Amino acid sequence: MTLLEVRGLDAGYGDFQALFGIDVDVAVGETLAMIGANGAGKTTFLRVLAGQVPAWAGSIMFDGTDIAHVKAHRRVGLGIALVPEGRMLFGSLTVRENLIIGAHAGRSGRWNIDTVLDVFPLIRPLLDRPSQVLSGGEQQSVAIGRALMSNPRLILLDEVSLGLAPVVVKSLYDALPALSEGGATVLLVEQDIGQALAVASRLVCLLEGRVSLEGRPDGVARSDITAAYFGLPASSGTEASS
Amino acid sequence: MEWLNAIVQGIMLGGLFALFATGLSLAFGVMRFVNLAHGDLAILGAFVAVSVISATGLNPFVSLVIVVPVMLAAGYALQLGAFNFTISPDPLPSILVTFGLGIVIQNVLLETYSADSRGLDVGSIEIESIRVTDAIAIGWIPLITLVVAVTVLGALQLMLSRTSLGRAFRAVSDDPPTARLMGINDRNLYAVAMGIAFATVAVAGVFLGIRQSFGPLDGPAQLLYAFEAVVIGGLGSVWGTLVGGLLLGVAHTVGGQFEVTYGYGSGPLVGHLVFLVVLATKPSGLLGRRAE
Ligand SMILES: Nc1ncnc2c1ncn2[C@@H]1O[C@H](COP(=O)(O)OP(=O)(O)O)[C@@H](O)[C@H]1O
Ligand SMILES: [Mg+2]
């Protein structure tokens, strides 16, 4: 069953067009990784889905209805949660308040502070701290937890690993299966191809605002991914050794 | 003893300043909105009370039961219908629009109520006081004003720190786009904040009208004192607003001690000096958060 069906999506900022005719499908329960170089339009795509950037053209069917023109603050209630690039915790709220506010207009379901803390036990002792004093990895855990608190059907993760040490990234990625098991469909954006391929059931590559490749991680050649990522001419199609 | 009395009276006066400053501080804190019509809104509130009292014969204190909801609704509607279109990182549009609104309010009040000074009559309590010592007596009206100011600011602080509405206010103040991701309708929240601002400034206006006579053009002076209280106390801090109001009140009454020698106006002058000293030495205000 398809949860999200994006067709012919154009979007941008002012006169600048960042996305050109994007078609993407996300099936219920899958983990879709969107990769692409810096500036390819990945963040813009997620922000359009969350309603922070308006769609210029095209449709965004979410569970059968077009939400392209639904206001941002109504989308979390429909079941879309964005973990934004740069975490964007609320600086004047404590960690606990940052989590609670995630449920402000969300749906009911299995996620609450306790179940979120089961997934991210390291933030339990930090609950009453101001969110600014947390390390990058802790902040990212809170940002994911905050999104979970709304019991999303579709969770959008924007560069979870950005600026974090490899061990921290690993622990965050280790938590991802818990999101799917909790019933959420995951769309994650990464610049780090290896990281994305390890967890994704499907892969979409963006290049300069267009989809340049789509497929299953085990079904596309590494060289094709590299070509789609950097905009190089496609390889002859032979499987590259990795 | 004269000085001690001046300080005590200043604290009472400061309650009124703090009440004036509350809504200004809230609107700025939540949405970086600078409301130059704030003082005129206080006067408007006092005139609404005049009309309510002449229509119903209610006591001015009791008239608040009508004045406050009316002003709250007006603030909510005005924010949704007009002010929201001026919200941007640049405060200039809000300054221009509210400057114009202030002039409109002044002229409508002049047309409707004439330029005559008015007062709100609460009866003999106006001149009654509690005698603390031979030299110090605390008037009931100033005392009630102070108690109301502390109660209003305390309630606001509780709301901001403990309730889900307050959490939403703080989140929107931090980062509106991310607050929207949480399902917070920031535009509606701004309207709620402006409703609260109008309600509190109407209370201030009614207490001003009980304390002294007022006319349609008295708003700008009240705005100035409210601004000074907010800046002295620190932007975005509720307790700072109270401290700023009290300090400004004390500056006015202590400065007033010089009036015998230097003539009328030395009270507000000392108030302005305190404001300038705080601005020069601690621009974020006494209890303010550091500038972002
Ligand atoms: N707020 C903005 N205003 C104008 N242009 C922007 C803005 N955000 C991103 N862009 C531009 O849109 C393009 C896509 O950016 P982005 O979606 O952030 O890419 P990615 O997340 O893949 O690195 C880039 O060219 C970027 O410069
Ligand atoms: Mg990005």
Q: Pick the closest to residue B138 from B248, B4, B243, B46 (CA basis).
A: B4
Query: What is the C-alpha to C-alpha distance for residues B208 and B43, in angstroms, rounded to an integer?
Result: 9
Predicted model pTM: 0.91
Radius of gyration of chain A (CA): 18
Q: Pick the closest to residue A14 from A73, A57, A54 (CA basis).
A: A54
Tens-place pLDDT, residues B163-212: 999 999 999 999 999 999 999 999 999 999 999 999 999 999 999 999 99
pLDDT of residue A234: 63
In a domain, A235, yes or no: no
In a domain, A220, yes or no: yes
Tens-place pLDDT, residues A12-56: 999 999 999 999 999 999 999 999 999 999 999 999 999 999 999
Using CA atoms, how far residue B270 sits from A126, B16, B256, in Å, is 46, 17, 8
Determine contact: B237 vs chain A, CB below 8 A. no
Divide the 292 residues of chain B into consecutive groups of 10 and give the mean pLDDT of each group. Answer: 86 94 92 93 96 94 96 97 89 91 96 91 82 85 94 95 95 95 96 97 95 94 92 86 94 86 81 90 78 41
Structural class in CATH, domain B2-114+131-281: mainly alpha
Determine contact: B171 vs chain A, CB below 8 A. yes
A25 burial (CB, 10 Å; 0-12 / 13-18 / 19+) is middle
- Identify the CATH number of the domain in which residue A183 sits: 3.40.50.300
In a domain, A239, yes or no: no
Q: Does the pLDDT value for residue A241 go beyond 90? A: no
CB contact at 8 A, B170 and B160: yes
Q: Does the pLDDT value for residue A143 go beyond 90? A: yes
Q: Pick the closest to residue A149 from A217, A69, A93, A79 (CA basis).
A: A79
Tell me how many domains chain A contains.
1
**Among the ranges given (A168-172, A191-195, B190-194, B225-229), the one the predictor scored with the smallest mean pLDDT:** A191-195
Q: Does the pLDDT value for residue A238 go beyond 60? A: no
Q: Give the number of the ligand closest to the Cα of residue A42.
A: 1
In a domain, A112, yes or no: yes
Residues of B in contact with A50 (CB under 8 A): 181
* Domain assignment of residue A133, given as a range: 2-230
Query: What is the C-alpha to C-alpha distance for residues B34 and B194, in angstroms, rounded to an integer?
Result: 11
Q: Does the pLDDT value for residue A240 go beyond 70? A: no
Share of chain A above pLDDT 90, in %: 72
Q: How far is the CA of A69 from the centre of ligand 1 (A)?
A: 21
Name the amino acid, one letter, at A69: H
Q: ipTM value of the model?
A: 0.91
> Which is higher by pLDDT, A198 or B40?
B40
Nearest C-alpha in B relative to A94? B167
Q: Say if strands B137-139 and A202-207 run parallel, antiparallel, or are unpaired.
A: unpaired
Determine contact: A54 vs chain B, CB below 8 A. no
Ligand 1 site residues, Cβ closer than 6 angstroms: A 13, 16, 18, 36, 38-44
In a domain, A238, yes or no: no
In a domain, A241, yes or no: no
In a domain, A236, yes or no: no
Helices (H), chain B: 2-31, 38-56, 60-81, 92-113, 140-162, 164-174, 176-181, 186-211, 219-233, 238-256, 259-262, 266-281
B242 burial (CB, 10 Å; 0-12 / 13-18 / 19+) is buried
pLDDT of residue B81: 95
Q: Give the number of the ligand closest to the Cα of residue A12.
A: 1
In a domain, A193, yes or no: yes
